Structures are given as C-alpha cells and as structure tokens.
Amino acid sequence: MRQRHSRWHRVCIADVCESIVDCVNKTAATVSEPTHYKMIRTTNVKKGWVHLDEVKYVTEDVFRKWTRRQLPKRGDVILTREAPLGEVGLLRTSDRVFLGQRLVSYRADSHKLDNRFLLYAFQGADVQGQIKSLGSGATVEHMRVPDCEKLTLDLPPLAEQRRIASILSAYDDLIENNTRRIAILEEMARRIYEEWFVKFRFPGHENSRMVESELGDVPQAWKISKLGDVIELAYGKALKAEDRKPGRYPVYGSSGIVGWHDEGLVSGPGIIVGRKGNVGSVFWSEESFFPIDTVFYVRTDLPLLFVFYNLQSQNFLNNDAAVPGLSRNQAYALPLIVPTAGLLSKFDEACGPIVALSRLLTRENENLRNTRDLLLPKLISGELDVSQMPEPETLAA
C-alpha cells in the first residue's frame, strides 16, 4: 500500500476540476405542465444518482436565465450543500436540466481527473468527513459556496482512477439495470391485477354474468365484503432504535425497512401497512420480519398476493391532523370484492413467477450494494490493488 500511495497525491479539488459552479440562489418560477426544461432539486440527488423521474418544470426563458453561469451536461457531479448536506450524484443524461437551490456542480478536468472517480471519492469517508466539518448552521447543516472549492482528495494516476471507477461503476450499472427490470415486473403484476379485479377483464369474463351491487356491476359469483371481514390489521410491537441492531430479520416501519433484529416476530411471507407516519404504505416481506408499533401487519386466509395489490389500491385515510395515523375502524369499513377461489388461484399462477423474479432481483441488488459499499472505501483510498480486481466485463457476466 505504501508503494501504491507513492503514486497518489493530495490535491485540492479546484485544481483538478474544469469548473465548480453554484446554483442561482433564488427560487425559479415553475409551471404545472411538463416542458423540456427540468429543475434538479436536492431531493433528486441521492447515493450517486441524479434521478429525474420527479422534477419541477420551467419555461425556456427561465431555463436560459438559470443556466447563464453554466449549462449542466452529462458527466457533471452534483453535490447538495444543504437539506441534506453531502449527497452526491452523477448526471447521466443529456436532458435540459439546471441546478435548483443548494446545489453545486463539479466538472472534472478530463486530463487530470476521471469524473466517476470524483463521484466515488465524494462518497468516501475522507471527503464526506471534510464536508461535514465544513457544514455549519444552528438548525440546518449547510456548506458555504467558497468551501466547496476547498475540498481535497487523494488522487492516483489517471489510468488508475479510470480502473477504480470502472470497477465500481460495474456494480452501479448492474444495480440500475436490475432496478429497471424490477419496475417493469412490478408494473406487469399490477396491470394484471387491475385488468382482472378492477376492470373485470379476467380469463373467461366473456361468459361471466354481471349483476348490480352497491359498488356497481360486479361478476355474479364474486362476494362483496368489508375489509375487516376477511383481513385483520394486527398491531406491531415497540422496538427502541438502539435495539434495531444487525441481525437476520428486517425491522419494518411505515417507511419500509428501518433496521434489523435477531428475532422475527411474524413469519414470512407477510404484508406490512403503515399506521403512523407514512399512513397506508404497503410493503411485502418474503422472510420473517419484525413490525414495529408504527405499522400493522396482515392476518388473512385470502391469498397474500391478491391482498397485497388490493391494499395498495385502498383509500386509507389519515384520521389525525397533528400526528398522521390510520384508523383500523376506517380501514375495516372499506369495501373489498372477493373473487372466486378458482380465479384467485389463477392469479397466483400468473403473477407468482413475475413477483418471484422481482424479489430475486431485489435480493441480488442488496448483495451488489453490500459488496460495492465494502469495496468503495478500500479502492478510493488505495488500500486494494486494482490490478488484482476482476475486469468489469467479467463482473457483469
């Protein structure tokens, strides 16, 4: 490691970047309809990515004014200066975007610095520690614009930077590819549910007689119930944050997995419904899990896959203006149309393999992220010799 570090040099980020540009420090006027011009906000920058699926739109005139300092381009590294402090992402598209407030763009000098290496260096403990130490503010941590140019990093030769970045990027590319596949699979299963159980275009619907009901026309053989007649929303159990320590079983809160525990309170597979906080959120756990007291978990004799998609479509209400909360009585009064047992079985046969593949890819992504997170600090510090690492093409295979 000493020999490798003899080729690495400590540099100021301003000396290896072509430009470091702050946002326009006022709020841009947005429009309600989509346009070609998108504003990147701090919420779009997370864990190495700049996500453009939920953005604000502006007119061309506003876009030109907000990009007069610099027009962002593919490959720029975006850092959040505040709310939150220290998130970073790589701009991977050529969309017409501009920086919203509290963002800074770094454009690497390609003769000195690989932009992907910069991205990963930003995520390492060294640079993150500098960012946190430069952060100030009594209520909200923020980093001053001049301090954004003072960050320093250990820099290997350019060829070594590219090698390190390629290895880590291979993991990110696999994760992103799996994420897209998961989204497609989930949409496929959701559409089958809607076709069969909402629009009533299920296999054999042509021969099914429709009858009037308080919910409109429904297939004659189906049963109209209340959610509380066929599903129990059982309370989770309190678990202190300090007890959510590394363990085998996921701990679920209303925002999803919030930790791990050495005890699985409920056998999997199972369904979790947000009770406090993220009211009405619905999660699936393939394995045994620990639901905390901000959620319900589901008990039912109905097929879980059908229940999972049904609960996602239910109109759960927040019954507390001060602290969001889901009333079981309100939930139990919601209508639920129960199809025939035969059709429910066919739904499991149709969607089961789709959902199984989605969950397999989800587990694969968890393993990829864990491996990447273990490698990143060792690679960007020079602790690991990249000449001994597999080629990205080999990894992808």
Interval 202-223 mean pLDDT: 91
| Residue 2 pLDDT greater than 50, yes or no | no
| Residue 66 pLDDT greater than 90, yes or no | yes
Residue 137 falls in which region: left (phi positive, over 0), alpha (psi -120 to 50) or beta:
left
CA distance 300 to 298: 6
Give me the pLDDT at residue 240, please: 84
**pLDDT tier at 138, thresholds 50, 70, 90:** low
Neighbours of 43 (CB within 10 A): 14
Mean pLDDT over all residues of the chain?
Answer: 90
**pLDDT tier at 397, thresholds 50, 70, 90:** very low
- CA 150 to chain CA centroid, Å, is 31
Three-state DSSP string of 225-271: EEHHHHEEEEECCCCCHHHCCCCCEEEEECCEEEEEECCCCECCCEE
- Contact partners, residue 161, CB within 8 Å, separation at least 6: 113, 114, 117, 155
Supply 98's token pair. Answer: 């501009």
Say what the pTM is.
Answer: 0.81
Question: Taking Cα atoms as reference points, which of 118, 89, 121 lies closest to residue 103?
Answer: 89
Domains of the chain: 2-155 (3.90.220.20), 223-338 (3.90.220.20)
| Residue 22 pLDDT greater than 60, yes or no | yes
Residue 99 in contact with residue 24, Cβ under 8 Å?
yes
Neighbours of 152 (CB within 10 A): 14
Give me the pLDDT at residue 305, please: 95
Residue 91 in contact with residue 98, Cβ under 8 Å?
no
What's the pLDDT tens digit per position in 258-287?
888 888 899 989 999 999 988 899 999 989
